[in-house]
Amino acid sequence: MLIKAQRERYAVPHFNTSDLEITKAILEGCNKLKSPVILGT
């Protein structure tokens, strides 16, 4: 995923969250945008 992003020159966002509602919102937004995402806790 990261190599593809580097080749195609786009960023992969990373979020640190421990709140389920915020995590759901992040995933929903990335899904709508068809964007990859990295989640941390």
Q: What are phi and psi of 28, to 5 degrees?
A: -65, -45
- pLDDT for the residue numbered 6: 98
**pLDDT at residue 41 in the model:** 87
Q: What pLDDT is stored for residue 13 in this prediction?
A: 97
14-16 vs 38-40, strand pairing mode: parallel
The tens-digit pLDDT sequence of the chain (41 residues) is: 999 999 999 999 999 999 999 999 999 999 999 999 999 98
Tell me the domain boundaries of the chain. 2-40
pLDDT for residue 3 = 97
